[in-house]
Every structure is written in structure tokens, then in C-alpha cells.
Structure 1
Amino acid sequence: MTTPQVRAELMAHAPNGIAPREPVWVGLQLTHQPEWHTYWKNSGDSGLPTQLEWTLPPGVMAGDIAWPIPKKIPIGNLANYGYEHTVLLPVPLTITPDFKPSLLASELEVRLKAVWLVCRKECIPEEGEFALKIPVRGSTGINGAAFEAAQKAQPQDLPPGSSLAVDGQTLQVSVPGLPAALRGRTLEFFPETGEVIETAAPYSQAWVGDVWTARVPLSAQRSQGPASMPVVLVGGEEGARQGYRAEARVTTPWPPAAARAEVSPALQAALAGNAANTADTATGPNLSLIAALLGALLGGLILNLMPCVFPILAIKVVGFARHAQDRQARRVGGLAYAAGVIVSFLALGALMLALRAAGAQLGWGFQLQSPAMVAALALLFTVIGLNLAGLFEFGQFLPGRLAAMEARHPAANAFLSGMLAVAVASPCTAPFMGASLGLAVALPTAQALAVFAAIGLGMALPYLLASWLPAVARWLPRPGAWMDTLRRFMAFPMFATVAWLVWVLGQQSGIDGAGALLALLVAVSAVLWSLTLAGRTRLVVAALSIAALALLAGTIGGTVVAAAPAGTTAAAAGERWQAWAPERVDQALAAGQPVMVDFTAAWCVTCQYNKKTTLANASVLADLAAKNVQLLRADWTRRDPAITAALARLGRSGVPVYVLYKSGRAPVVLSEVLGVDELRSAIARL
């Protein structure tokens, strides 16, 4: 696998085939981009060592990583131990007599899950899954040179006799048995036990006969006090370094240890910024969860200002006005509406988490990736709009008992209107809560659902306040004839939403799909009108209109949910923006060209606003052209697992997302509500 920072490859070396007592090696080779590095078993002042988790058939056991000698990597006033350029981390496999390969598939299948931290000034946790099949019979020696070089990079074991002694704040090291050719030379010192010495501090060393000695400063934040410490000494020049490993016995008591040292502030900030990219998430309450909850609550509040929610505002304004003087009805309605909103967000979150646990690649707003769902919502809002406009009353079509039940249970109406609000508003949450939602889908289930509930509470909070606080309630107008005018006026936001949904469907199913939906909506409207007539006219006209609707549904209904013809939504020839694909990003970066990716969707209102403003700004386009930036647009209007996976790697679960890539650097994720100054500043740093 390849990332902008590292190319990782699983390799094998079995020169004598797969058999007991024969040498069999596997290993992960990491090729770093310039200035990037990963870490040794003791990472130094910060960082994390690479971790390998093997899945092997019965009768095969993996040993520990045979760590090559590291190098010291200074970072400010700190220092780390790790690897740059290319490093192979070899692991020996032990083949026992219990290994019984199949006669039909005489191969040893090796699977590896690897996790590593790659750093420059910033740090990026990365992981990969690898698979390899090694022939049981015959040799596998194509990677022999790489494993031979890794073998030479292993430190050689020294005979016993090395010792360490604590003298105040200094560790006195004594290592005999080194080769005579090294005597008098300056050696590099690497303790395998972390959090003992001042990694970046200089230390003195000297030769006493054939014994190498050193005085190494102890760390003020020391947290370890072992009885023995393995140490690695390295001599020679770059390209011809040789290491020697000694098991040094500690001959004096350790002074009291300090509290466990923290990683460097720079690393801590980098890890926090990339928390969504790692599966090792804390299970208890933490600052990230609290920030996610607060962000979700604020995002839910902002949702009430989004165009997606205008139709639901119409319903609630009319409902509140109707109960302006009835405190009990107002409070019950507010609670029921809030319950409908919160329960719906919880249901959507639980569905998304369940599908993701089952392996489905879904992101937030997935319900509007389905043309059938978009068409159903357009139909629903058409019916509601016609009702608000006064074309019909729902009570006309209900049996008397059901109509009376609706009148007796207005709380049920409020609950259902809350659910309807969520169905339409949820795609608008991503611009304000991209990071919170990205974190939520990686949290334990209970914490993730708490984030979704916080979104619902934020969205319902204004209505709860209006329904329970007298000061807010006094602002509500008294009921009167104006309410009927307001009701009819509010039909227009409904029809505006229908127009938007038809446009969204047009992006998914093409112009034919949008036209078919409009025809069906007209036919449904005719059916509703015919049912308001009386006598024989109603029977005749209703029968004809229902037959016309059935004929239309049978002939053009399939067009509504059909996929748009290939190339309909792709960028036209000569446009700056081209269709996104993962390999196109890699190809551009390999050619040294920076890349900007716009993760967007037709149903995302914020995406369309940014596209018409910031992304169309002449100065922004000039800056992009001056830097020769490859512009790619990832259209998520229809479900696309590749785009979902790309968003997940960036710690996001919804759109819009704007990312700048440059070879050798970490991806830069910009704000969802994108400003011209922010984008131009980011482009200038490419």
C-alpha cells in the first residue's frame, strides 16, 4: 500500500522452502518519503514503535521483530530513535511438524495487520492489512538481498559482563567485549528501555583499555527502573554502520522515579488531530468526546437556520401559533417534537453503526444517496405543500374514528414532525459537525449514540425553550385569521424543497429521471384534487386520475430510480475540475503535482454554496493555476464505497470536505464552510 508519506510492502524469504528447521522470514518494508520517519522499539522522547499482528495457519509461529539498528533523529530540543529512507522489519517464522498444508493449495498464507506512526513535523498514525502466499515447495528468494541487508543491520550480541550504575543524575555505562577495531572510536548509544535517559542530551564516553564507558544523563521524567537494560552500541560511518547489543546489569539502586513522561506537545497535538484515523479509541469520557458532544449540540442548533429545515419550520410555526394560549398543549407538543428529533437521530446513528459493523461503507447523509428515498421525500413534501395550500384536508381521507384520534393526540403529530425534520435535515449536519461525526463512528457504541443524541437535542432545543419558558412564549402571537394566511404561505417553502429534491434526483438519475418524477408528482396532485370532489364527479374523475397515475408509474416509474447514463455527472471536457479516483491522486502526486479534492454531493446545500462562491472565485482559481494544482471532484450524490472509504481515512463521515495533497506532506483538510482567504492561504503554502 502507498500513502503520501510511506510505501509499505509485505515481503518473504524462504530459500529452502517451507519445512521444519528451515529458515523462513517475513517482514514489512517501509519506504519513507524524504524527511519522514517511523520508529524503533524505543522511540525516544516521542513516537510509537511499529506494531505487527500476524495471522498464520496452525503449526506456524511468528517471532519478534528483529529490529535493525536505528539512528538518532533530533526534533528541536528532543530526539527520537527511528528509521528514514527504506527499512525492512524482518520477523522469523517457526515451522513446526503440526503445519499440514493442503495438497490442493500447497502454500503458506501469511496475513498481517500493521500499525505505524509516521512523522515529520506532524505525525500521522497509519495502518495497513497485507496478505502473502509463500509456496511450500521450492524456494522463495526474490527478496534475498533485502533480507540479507536487514540481517547485516542487526546488532551482534556481546558476551556477558556489561554493567550500569546510577551516580546521582548520571548513568555510568561499562561495556567490555567490543571488537578491537572499535577501540578509541566514538560510538552511538541506544538503550532499548525507554524513559530512562535524556535522549537529546550530550553524553561523555571514553575507553578504559578494551572497555567502553560512558556517562549518560538520566531523564528528569524517568519512569523506568529495570534490574537490567539491553543497550545497543553502533560504530562506523553512514552506510557502513555496525551495531552491538549488550545485556547490561544494573549494579546500584535506582532513585525514586518521576511520573510517567508525556509525549512532546507537538506530537500530542498531531495525534489528537488524527484521532479519527486510529481504531485505538479511549473507552471512557475524554476531552475529544466532550468536544464532539459540544460540537454536535451547536451543530444541531445551527440546523434550524439551514434551508433543509425551512419546511419543518413552517409546520412548527403554525403549530406553535395554534397553541399559543394553551400552555399544556404547547409543552406537550415541544416535548413530543424533541423526542421525535432525538429518537430519529439515535435511530439513524444506530443504523449507520450497525451497517458499518457489518462491513457496509456508509457515510452521514446516506439516506439521500438513494434515488428512491429522494423521490419518496419529494412526494411527501408535495402532499404536505398541497395540504398547507388548502387543496385538501387529511381528515377528508381518514375514517371518522382515525380523524378524531388525530385530534385527540396532537403529541403524536408533533413526534412525527420531529422525525420528518431529521429525515430532511440530517444531510445538512455534516458541514458543522464533520469532525464530531467522524469521531462518533469510531467511538464505542454508547459514546457514539451520545453524540447523535446531542445533535438531536441541539436541533430541538429552540422549540423546547419556546414551549416551556413563559418569556419565550410571550413572543408568540395570539391565534387569529392571520393563521390561515400564514399556513397557505408556508406551502411555498414546501414546494421549494420539492424543487431542490427534483434537482438532486436529476444528479442521480439524469434529466429523464427528474422529468419522470415531476410527471408523477403532477399525477399524484391530480389524484388528491379528484378526491376532494363530490358525488358522481368524484368517482369518475378519481378513477381516471388514479388510472393515469398507475399508467405513468408503470411506464416511467423505473426511470426515477435508474442510474444516470455514464458521463452525465462527470466533468465536461475543458473544465478545471475532473472526476476523482484514488489512482488519479497517486498519479498526480507521483508526478510532483499538488492535488485538491472536493468531496461533494448534489443534496449538500453547503457544498453547492461553496462551489458557487469560494471555488468559483477568480483569485482562488488563479492561485490554483499558478501552483499547477490538479483539481478533482469526488461526487458522493450516489453511494460510492471508494469515496466513503476516502472520507473515513480523513476522519470524516459526511460532505463537504476539501483536501489539499502534496507529495511528502500530510493531507491538509480545510474548513467545511470554506472561505476565500483560508483557501488562498493554504494554496500559498503548497
Structure 2
Amino acid sequence: MDERSTLPMPHYRRSMTLLWQALALLCAIIVQPAFAKPTNIRAQLVAEKAAMPGESVTLAFVMKPAKGWHGYWQNPGDAGQGMRTRWFVGDAQVKAGALRYPTPETLLISGLMNHVYEHDYAVLADFTVPKDARPGMVLPLKVQAEWLACTDQICVPEEAELTTQVTVGSGKADPRFDVWRAALPAPLGAQAKFQLAGDTIRLGIPMPASVALDKPHMFAAEDHVVDYAAPQAFARSGDWLLVTLKRPKIAAIDPAQFGAVLRLNGAGDGVELSAIPGAVPTGGTPLKGDAAADLSLPMLLLAALAGGLLLNIMPCVFPILSLKALSLARAGESEAEARREGVAYTAGVVLACALLGALLLALRAAGQEVGWAFQLQEPGVVVVLLLLATAITANLAGLFEFAVPGFARAGSPQGAFATGMLAAFVATPCTGPFMAAAMGAALLLPVTEGMALFVALGLGLALPFLAVAYIPALRRLLPRPGKWMVWFKKLMAVPMALTALALLWLCWRLGGDWFAGLTAFLAVAFVIALAATGKRQRAGKSAGWVLAVIVVLIALVGAEKLPKLFAPPAAGIESILDTKPFSEDALAKARASGRPVFLYFTADWCLTCKVNEKAAIERAETKAAFEKAGVQVLVGDWTRRDPAITRFLTAQGAAGVPLYLWYVPGKDAEQLPQVLSAGLLAGKAQQ
């Protein structure tokens, strides 16, 4: 076995990236002097004013990175290095105060989170004038400073001998220091607390609810305490700000105290805090950089309910409308029967949504990078769905009679329950306009509240059927049962057959040619078996055991052969636009170019995504508008599981796809609606 296979894959990738950066740094050291002249980040040492003997004077290291270069905070994050200094007065080495940095920025490159400065900044330190100094003296202060200057591609160690003079006496202060001090994080002024909880560290920070937060971020002062690249969860509970951070999977340190800087907003305002062990409040309302930040739990529940309700008209739900149509038609036969079926159907839908939600939360708690509709990223699940759609198609077409979900001749609560579970399982990959905030919040809220959102989603999906079951006026609007149902049943075999073909295509996208070929063979064999079963049924013979034997054989062949044939094709999106694959690095470069950026996330199994692409993105007018405005287009393909995309979606408060983001140069992302139009995109390009 490959030795690296014993490591968790995210840690392995991060380790390899760090190794390559270290090798690049070593090469840079070999081919040039130990430290380069400070050409990429120019530095200057400035004293604020004169000072009397025994008094402190503040000095500033004024750092000016060249375009495309950046320097590092005291804790650089996953890679990098802060500043190192040695102080001298003349030839005598002296001591100075700790370096004080402004609130840093985040820079995510290849899955590594760095704490950086991509603009001019000043690092401050205090120097105490010796008590034996005489007024009027001029102290020649010298600092040997080392730092690391980096771009997205290379790093260069730099050093400089910086000098300034400090006059012993009194004098006017340099006004620039007021600006530089304002950039420093302010002391919190209250005691924060933290708790270690499994693979997370939870912080409670006293902060008035009136303090506005816009996309906050926590910068840990010590290394090996938090996972820098992991999403951070923020919530409000009265005058407490609650923060949940992931801990490193390897070499995590249990801190006695937790020092950090909390960035409050995109303007660089921050506070410095030191947390001690103690009780941290639970619950709270989640904070995000999107609409979820402004929604209370009742509003999120309402959004989930409305999202589930709208799923009934979303394109991805259409293939199962045939199941509902026949059940709704039968609902007019008996009020008691209609209510039983309505309750059973609702129970099936709600249970399926709750089970999917519980599994999703459990996988994420175990460290898996998964999101909403994760089941359709698993080839085995798609194969099972394909065979199920094949069986339903054969039943609708009249090849055999079997009480598959919702098709018992006289109707039954068991059939309605199974129909509800199937409806939820197939429908949940879509997200409606009201679901984005609710499902994104469900991944951040405590388990109980998150599960309540999944239940509300299921209730919304089942609500139309439940209303028909309990409101006689609605049932009277339905056509009476009759011979038309036989023809309608056969007609509904068409969309279900198209669903099976779509699932076969998804098998090809997930597993490659041979994988899809064997899946198609198994589906055809299944149809032949079902037709043979139907023939025995029409002859009045027992057929259940025959079908059971064939299903077992198909399952055995599939379990044995399909994993061996699994070979995913190369990922790629065909588009009339000039698109590039999404990565954090590609996004950073696109935004740095000064041109507008359109970033969207899609998946082959997401019919909502495909409808938007045909209706709004893959249009000649969109292409023309984008080319005229110089819009750069990045695409994240989430058809197969991709931890980097999952992390980015979570950071944006999205539980799944579609997600559409528009970047104006110099501004944060604007999240576009989940229902697009060509006019909307063209209009954004013309702004």
C-alpha cells in the first residue's frame, strides 16, 4: 500500500502543497544571495516623535508591496512568514516592544489559507529611550529586518538594514501615526471564553448586538490551534458573538489561552482578544455574508417551507409528477382513504428529507466535505435510482403489475408512503429561490435547529398533496377515476423513461464509458425480467420468486463488476463562453485583473442549473455582452464530489448548486438569484 494512503487526503494535499512551496523557496535561496534586496516589498523605518529619557517612542515599519506581491501577518496561516527584527543603537543590541500588526486579509491559494497584506501597511513597535540619555542627543537607531515577499506563484525572502534617528527631547508627532494606529485592531475590553468540543473550538465573545458585522473572520494568533482554511461559523446570542472554528486534524494544540484578532468587516476594522477556558453560550442566530445573516430561525423555517413548496414546480420534480397524478386521482374515491394516503405520503416525504439531512450533518461532522444533493454524486446511488426509474417505467407502460411506490391498484397508505420517500429523494437536488439561505443555515446551526429546517423542507414539498387530501373542494376539482387513468398511466411512462435516460447519462458523466455501458446492460436485463414477470402474471402464475432471483443476480453482477469499470471522464464544461475551471487561485487572479468576474457552480444532475444555462448563460446575447465588457467567466463543476467547491459553497452560505456570483472590481461578491435570465446577465455586464 502507498504510504501516503494512511494520511487523510486533505492533510496529504496540504502537506504536498507546503512541500512544493518549501522546494520553491529553497531554489530561490540557492540561486540568489540568502536574502534579496527589498525590491518586492520596500520598507522604511520612521520614528513618531522625539522622546525624553525613560519615555517610549513608537516606530513604524512602513511596508509597500509591489503590485501582485504581499507580506504576512505575525501568524502567516498555512504558509508564509512574518517579520523578524534585531534592534541596535549604534553597535549595541537593544530590546524593543512587540510588533503590532494591522488587521490582516485572507488569501486562499490551492486550499491554503494565508494571512496577508496586499497593499501598503505599517507595523508598529515601541522603543524606550535609555534613562541615561541626555536631552539634545540623537540616537542612531538601526533595525535588521527580515520578511517574506510572495505572489500567488513564488516567494522571495528579503532583508534590509533600516535606520532612523530618535531625538532625546520633545517635538511634534508625525500625523501619519494616527492613521497607522487606526489600522491596528482595537483591544476587546472584555473577557472572551472558549471551549474545546471534539474537532472544534467554540468561542464566546462579549460584543453588543448593535456592533455591525460584515463577513467576519477570526485570525488565531498561535499556530496549530485552528484549521485556517476551514469555514468559520458565526452566530449571535444577545450580546454574545459565538464563533465555531475547526481544529487541525493532525498536531492540534490545546491552548491554555486563545489569542486572536477578529476582523469585523471588509473595511479592515478589527478587535484583538484573548479568551480563557470557560462556558460558552449555545444556540444563537447564524451570521453570514448573505441573506441568511438577517433571518431568524422562524424566518428560516418559513423559507425552507416555501422552498419545499416551490420544488413541486421545479423542473427536477417533473419526472415524478406521474406518481402524484395517479395518487391524486384516486384521492377523490373516499375521503377517509384520501386522508390516509395524504398523511402517509407526507410522512414519507418528511422522513426522507429528515434522513437525508441527518446523514448530511453526520458526514460533515465526521469531516466529510459534502453538500446538499450529495447522494447524486455517488455512482452507486445513481445506478440504484436508474434501475428504480426503469422499473417504474415498465410498470407504467403495462409490462408488469407490481406495487411499486404509489401504484397499488386500489391505493394504499404503504404505497403513498413509499411514493413520498421517492419524491423527496429525487426532488431534493433542486434548490428554489427561498431554499438557499435556509439550507445554507442548516449546515451551520445546532443539530436540532438544522434538522427542523430539513423537516420544514419536507413539509413544504408534501403540502399540495396534503391539502388535496384534507380539503374536499380541492378534491372535487380532480377528474373522476375512469378508463382515462389507464391511458394516462401509459402516457406518464414517457417522462419516466426520459428520467431513466438522464440517469444513464449521469452514470456516464460520473463513471465513464464502460461503467455506463454495463449499467445500461443491467437496465435492459431488468426490463426483460420485468416483462417476463408480467407475462407470468397475466397467465395467472406466481411471478414474485422469479423477479426476486433476477434482481439478486443483477445486484451481484453490478456489485462485482461496476467498481472495476469505474473510470471518470475528464471534467469539463462545454460552453459558447470563454470559461475557465474554478479554483481559489483562478478566482484570485481573475479578480486581480480589474475586470468583472462571473462565477457559477453547476452539476449535470441539477436540472435547475441546466435550465438556467440554456435560458440565460449559453446565449448569444450573453456572450456578446460579456465580450464587450471583458467579463471573465469561471465555472465550478460539482457533478462529482469536490471538497474545494464544497468548502467554497459553505463559505458563501450555500448548501448546494446552483450558485451564481458576480464580482465588480474592488468589491465583494454579489449573489445573483437562482432563476436567471439573459437580460439579467447582460444588464450586469453593462453596469
TM-score by length of 1: 0.60
For 2:663, the equivalent position in structure 1 comes to 661
Q: Is the 8 A contact 1:30 1:88 kept in 2?
A: no
What corresponds to 1:59 in structure 2? Answer: none
**Closer, same or farther: CA 304–349 of 1 in aligned 2, 3 Å:** same
Distance of 1:573 and 1:607 partners within structure 2: 14
Query: Which residue identity lines up with residue 589 of structure 2 in the other structure?
Result: Q
CA 24–339 in structure 1, closer or farther in 2 if over 3 Å, else same: farther
Following the alignment from structure 1 to structure 2, what is the Cα–Cα distance between the partners of residues 241 and 555?
Answer: 68
Q: Report the residue type matching 1:557 in the other structure.
A: L
Structure 2 partner of 1:368: 376
Calculate the aligned-residue CA RMSD, in Å. Answer: 4.6
Residue aligning to 2:489: 487
Shift of 1:522: 0.5
Offset of residue 458 of structure 1: 1.0
Q: Per-residue deviation at 1:657?
A: 0.9
User: Are 2:317 and 1:309 equivalent residues in the alignment?
Assistant: yes
Structure 2 letter corresponding to 1:570 = G
The equivalent of 2:175 in structure 1 is 237
Measured against aligned partners, the alpha-carbon deviations of 1:4-51 in whole angstroms (never above 9, x if no partner) come to 9997633456769xxxx9989577665569xxxxxxxxxxxxxxxxxx
* Letter paired with 1:664: G
Question: Secondary structure of the residue that 1:428 maps to in structure 2?
Answer: coil
Q: 1:279 aligns with which of 226, 234, 238?
A: 234
Which AA in structure 1 matches 2:321? L
SS in 2 for 1:458: helix
Distance 1:619 1:677 in 2: 8
Following superposition of structure 1 onto structure 2, how do residues 78-93 of structure 1 map, counting pairs within 5 Å?
85-88=120-123
Aligned partners of 1:5 and 1:665 also within 8 Å:
no
Cα-to-partner distance string for 1:445-483 (whole Å, 9 max, x where unaligned): 222222211111111111111000111121123222222
Hey, what's the Cα distance between the residues in 2 that align with 1:271 and 1:241? 23
2:278 aligns with none
Decide which of 647, 663, 669 is 1:645's aligned counterpart: 647
Question: 1:551-581: per-residue Cα shift (whole Å, max 9, x none)?
Answer: 9748863476x2323x3x3246996122222
Q: Does 1:557 align with 2:562?
A: yes
SS across alignment from 2:673: coil
Change (3 A) 1:89 1:309: farther
Alignment of 1:27-42 (within 5 A): 30=103
Question: What is the 5 A alignment of 1:382-397?
Answer: 382-394=390-402
Alignment of 1:333-412 (within 5 A): 333-394=341-402, 410-412=412-414
Q: Deviations over 1:318-360 (max 9, x none)?
A: 1232342211111011011111111211221122122212221
What is the CA distance between 1:647 and its match in structure 2? 0.9
SS at match of 1:394: coil
Q: 1:320 aligns with which of 328, 348, 367?
A: 328
Residue correspondence of structure 1 range 115-514 to structure 2 within 5 A = 180-182=170-172, 235-238=173-176, 263=210, 278-282=233-237, 283-284=283-284, 287-394=295-402, 410-429=412-431, 432-514=434-516
1:616 offset after TM fit, Å? 1.8
8 A contact 2:599–2:635 mirrored in 1: yes
Q: 1:9 aligns with which of 62, 73, 91?
A: 73
TM-score by length of 2: 0.60
Amino acid at match of 1:379: L
CA contact (8 A) 2:102 2:121 kept: yes
Supply the distance in 2 between the matched residues of 1:422 and 1:640 (Cα, whole angstroms): 24
SS at match of 1:304: helix
Instruction: Report percent identity of matched pairs.
Output: 35
- Cα distance in 2 for partners of 1:574, 1:89 equals 52
Q: 1:432 and 1:505, CA in 2 relative to 1: closer, same or farther beyond 3 A? A: farther
Q: Name the structure 1 match of 2:682.
A: 680
Q: Tell me if the contact between 2:386 and 2:504 (Cα under 8 Å) persists in the aligned partners.
A: yes
Equivalent pairs counted in the alignment come to 475
Question: What does residue 611 of structure 2 align with?
Answer: 609
Instruction: Supply the distance in 1 between the matched residues of 2:399 and 2:667 (Cα, whole angstroms).
Output: 60
Contact 2:328 2:465 in 1 (8 A): no
Alignment partners' CA distance in 1, 2:607 and 2:553: 34
CA distance in 1, matches of 2:124, 2:451: 40
Instruction: Summarize the Cα distance change of 1:330–1:27 in structure 2 as closer, same or farther, 3 Å threshold.
Output: farther
Seen in structure 2, the aligned counterparts of structure 1 residues 653 and 551 have a Cα distance that, compared at 3 Å, is closer
C-alpha distance 409-7 of structure 1, shift in aligned 2 (>3 A):
farther
Distance apart, 1:663 and its partner CA: 4.6
The question of whether the paired residues in 2 share the 8 Å contact of 1:277 and 1:651 is answered with no
Q: Which residue of 1 aligns with 2:89?
A: none
- What's the CA shift string for 1:644-682, capped at 9, x where partnerless? 011112111111111123453211221111122322232
Q: Which amino acid aligns with 1:440?
A: A
Shift of 1:525: 0.8
Q: By how many angstroms is 1:593 displaced?
A: 4.0
Structure 1 equivalent of residue 33 of structure 2:
none
CA distance 1:291–1:684, change in 2 (3 Å): farther
Q: CA offset at residue 507 of structure 1?
A: 2.0
Partners of 1:242 and 1:513 lie apart in 2 by 61
User: How big is the shift at 1:503?
Assistant: 2.0
Q: Cα–Cα, structure 1 residues 551 and 623, in superposed 2: closer, same or farther, change >3 Å?
A: same
User: Which structure has the larger Rg over C-alpha atoms?
Assistant: 1
8 Å CA contact retained: 2:597, 2:664:
yes
Closer, same or farther: CA 479–443 of 1 in aligned 2, 3 Å: same
Q: Is the 8 A contact 2:330 2:338 kept in 1?
A: no
* CA distance, structure 1, for counterparts of residue 340 and residue 551 of structure 2: 39
| Segment of structure 1 superposing worse, 586-595 or 476-485 | 586-595
Check 1:303–1:559 CA distance in 2 against 1; reply closer, same or farther (3 A cut).
farther
**Contact 2:400 2:535 survives alignment (8 Å):** no
Distance 1:8 1:615 in 2: 39
8 A Cα contact 2:580 2:633, kept in partner: yes
Name the SS of the counterpart of 1:330 in structure 2: helix
What is the CA distance between 1:367 and its match in structure 2? 0.7
Q: Which piece of structure 1 moves more, 456-465 or 344-353?
A: 344-353
Equivalent of 1:599, from 588, 601, 613?
601
Aligned residue for 1:613, secondary structure, equals helix
Counterpart contact for 1:440–1:451, Cα < 8 Å: yes
Residues 363-372 or 591-600, more deviating:
591-600
The answer to whether the 8 Å contact 1:6/1:31 transfers is no
In the TM superposition, residue 615 of structure 1 has moved relative to its aligned partner by 0.8
* Maintained 8 Å contact 1:389/1:491: yes
Give, as a single letter, the amino acid of the residue that structure 2 aligns with 1:328: A
Change (3 A) 1:344 1:652: same
Secondary structure at 1:9's aligned position in 2?
A: strand
Contact 1:657 1:672 in 2 (8 A): yes
Q: Distance in 1 between matches of 2:432 and 2:603?
A: 11
